Chain A
Amino acid sequence: MTYPKWGWVLGVATVTAVVAFGVASWQASAAPTPGASPTVPAEQATVSNPDPGPAPSAGIGQDALTSTELGKARALAETTALKAGAKDVTGSAGPEYLAADIADADTGRTAELYYYDYQGNRLVKQVVDLRSGKLAGSYAATGMQLPPAEREVRTALDLLLASPLSAELKDAYAKATGQPFTGQELSPTAHIYHALPADSGAPQCGKNRCLRLIVQTTDGHILDLDKIIVDLSGRTVARLN
């Protein structure tokens, strides 16, 4: 039976120890050779690299909601009661779909879906029991915000471009790229803005759903729009003082 000298499968520590000690003694008395490789090769560790396989139709336990489950959950969550009187970020009927999380449930699979109703300025949480296929709860609150959905970010950029404050974006674009802004492609992200007591310019934000945009040009410049706040609820654009 042969033992791999440095493999981790080696079960006899004393053999390793004796060899290692021999190497250590040799190193102490010999001048190091510049550029030589280490006398004790590094032990390697690898991890498995499994094939992810096809997308699962349903998850187990706390697995992320699958697209199939999300479709089912949305169908159950988007009730007549939810849609009644609600408006999305474009002003059309029905609430804006924001996010869906797997809930920390004892058993089964429970989805928590979040919507924003721009008419009532409220965040709605719809709890769906995927196993029974039932809406298990519905909650709404004002003054509460979740991160923006992609469509909300695009809408915020459109509102800014259509507002008098678009001059600031154009200036920032010219300053960053050296080119005039004539409708070039922009890559926006955004975060929720909550007005704090000392803030002026957009004190309604928090109650209203407001975004601060981070706009990047195609060549990677980030435009300085830190003081611009887009109020998606009021469809206004303001500058913080």
Chain B
Amino acid sequence: MGTGMTYRKAAAGAAVVLIVASPAAGRAPAAAQAAAPAACVSSATVNETLPNGTTWRMCWHMDARAGLVLDKVSFSAKRSALPVQVLESIRLGQLNVPYDSGETEFNDLTDYGFGDGNLQTLTGEDCKGGSARQGSDGGPEGTRRNVLCVSAEPSGLAYRLNDGDEDTPKVYSKQGFDLVLRSISKVGWYEYVSEYRFGDAGQISARLGATGDLSPTDYVKADNGWPIGKGAKDYAAMHYHNAFWRVDFNLGGTGKEKVEQYDTKVNGRGSMSAKLTTARTSIAKEGSFAKANRRWWRLVSPASKNGDGHLRSYQLVTGANDVYEAHPETTPDVTFTQAHACEKFATGNADPQCPREKSILDFAKNKETMTDPIMWVRVGFHHVPRDEDQSPMPLHWQGFDLEPRDFTAINPAAPDGRQNVDGRPS
């Protein structure tokens, strides 16, 4: 979006800093608290402090096709009290569901939609222990319903350190928590959970969960199905869930992130073990990329630095991921493109303003130099049905993590006693 986008990002970044009223805001410069232009209406604001003092603040809205969209996400913590923006927005970018039979295929965002009437009103135990938030379902009439669940959930042991010795142990041990936002969309027989987990040490996890029921009509032969009824008769069709997310960073509110790829190769032997060397490749132009052993990507701010003087960044961490090589669009693991308002969906993009831009491959084709990169993350799950999938189907999940890298100078949740540990111990 060129200079316009830059202006928006700068303004948005400042706004987030200004409006945050967390317990830690007292340490923000007084002047920054004077004016308080809100980034969104109060009912669209999520602003929660987790037990260790970490505060996540963001805006949310529902889109008719994409479902849950999180905007202007910022982070602050006990040891980094000034809120710093992380994301401009994050949302799903497509959900492609082809069946192995070759007989059917769905594009659940662009042909069906996660918002509007398919977005479910929270009920039952959908949001047990959490807060059901009301807002527009993204439909053509703007109907307000309880559609977003906000909760704080335990994430297990956050850290553990025995800094003492056998006789005088000094144990730092802490349970962690995530701030969790989720919504549910019913697409035919499947029900999908869009979930984002914001960890109390800065990690962000984006996940798609699938539940509901298996297709009631897609029963096939043994080579592309799995028998789920009595005997070897009802072969439920295997299928893919090819999910894409659209991630727009705005690190430190200054935008203009640089994309970097890192690769580590075995490079000879040292006196005891193999030598490995790590090299960085700058990705300045649009393109699609595939995972390799030890390969990873990060988006780095060109300006925003942590207390150690290091440029802030977030790293893409992917896990289980089945590639669907039957489509060129679902083959790459990640695609980086320059932000353009017209480029909304990873596939099935349908905007009369830019009729030739139909998928991420079209977006990236001209290898434009990126000044405002969008990261399109693809995570595929090849679903082989099993007896236990009936019924309702236990949730199966697919997704990725965004890990802060040098966003803060030390562990943002470091306990008293460890706050001065920063660098090589003297």
Contact = CB atoms under 8 A, between A and B. Distances in A.
Contacts of B8: 105-107
B98 to A, nearest CB: 11
B142 A52 contact: no
A170 to B, nearest CB: 17
Interface stretch (A29-37, A85-93, A142-150, A156-164): A142-150
Interface stretch (B105-113, B290-298, B305-313, B397-405): B105-113
Interface string B346-359: 00001111010000
B352 A97 contact: no
A64 B353 contact: no
A149 to B, nearest CB: 7
Given A102-B61, A123-B350, A141 B341 contact: no
A235 B150 CA distance: 44
B353 A125 contact: yes
Nearest to B51: A8
A166 interface: no
B302 interface: no
A237 interface: no
Contacts of B211: none
Nearest to B416: A13
Contact of B177 (A14, A45, A99): A45
Interface in B106-134: 106-108, 110-113, 116-118, 130-131, 133-134
Contacts of A56: 41, 43
Interface stretch (B165-173, B259-267, B278-286, B330-338): B165-173
A89 B67 CA distance: 25
B112 A191 contact: yes
Contacts of B172: 13, 17
A70 B140 contact: yes
Contact of A61 (B47, B59, B103, B131): B59
A64 B138 contact: yes
A20 B179 contact: no
Interface in A130-155: 137, 139-141, 144-147, 149-150
Interface residues of A, number: 69
Contacts of B40: 59-63
A104 B344 CA distance: 10
A50 B130 CA distance: 11
A81 interface: no
- Looking at chain A's contact residues, is the secondary structure mostly helix, strand, loop, or mixed? loop
A147 B114 CA distance: 10
Contacts of A147: 64-65, 110-113, 116
Contacts of B51: 8, 43, 45
A103 interface: yes
B169 A145 contact: no
A62 B59 contact: yes
A20 B12 CA distance: 44
Nearest to B146: A52
B43 A226 contact: no
A88 B218 CA distance: 34
Given A59-B41, A214-B188, A21 B131 contact: no
Contact of A13 (B42, B63, B143, B417): B417
Contacts of A80: none
B163 to A, nearest CB: 9
A124 interface: yes
Contacts of B47: 48
B108 to A, nearest CB: 8
Interface of B: 1, 4-5, 7-8, 11-12, 38-44, 47-48, 50-53, 59, 61-65, 69, 71-72, 89, 103-108, 110-113, 116-118, 130-131, 133-136, 138-144, 150-154, 169-175, 177, 179, 187-189, 216-218, 341, 350-353, 355, 415-417
Given A48-B131, A147-B111, 6 more contacts: A12-B416, A45-B152, A52-B135, A146-B350, A189-B188, A226-B218
Interface of A: 8, 11-14, 16-17, 20-21, 42-43, 45-50, 52-53, 55-56, 59-67, 69-70, 97-107, 122-125, 127, 137, 139-141, 144-147, 149-150, 189, 191-194, 196, 214, 221-222, 224, 226
21 contacts: A8-B52, A13-B416, A16-B173, A43-B175, A47-B130, A47-B179, A62-B59, A62-B69, A62-B89, A63-B59, A64-B62, A99-B65, A125-B351, A139-B352, A147-B65, A147-B112, A189-B117, A191-B111, A196-B105, A222-B217, A226-B104
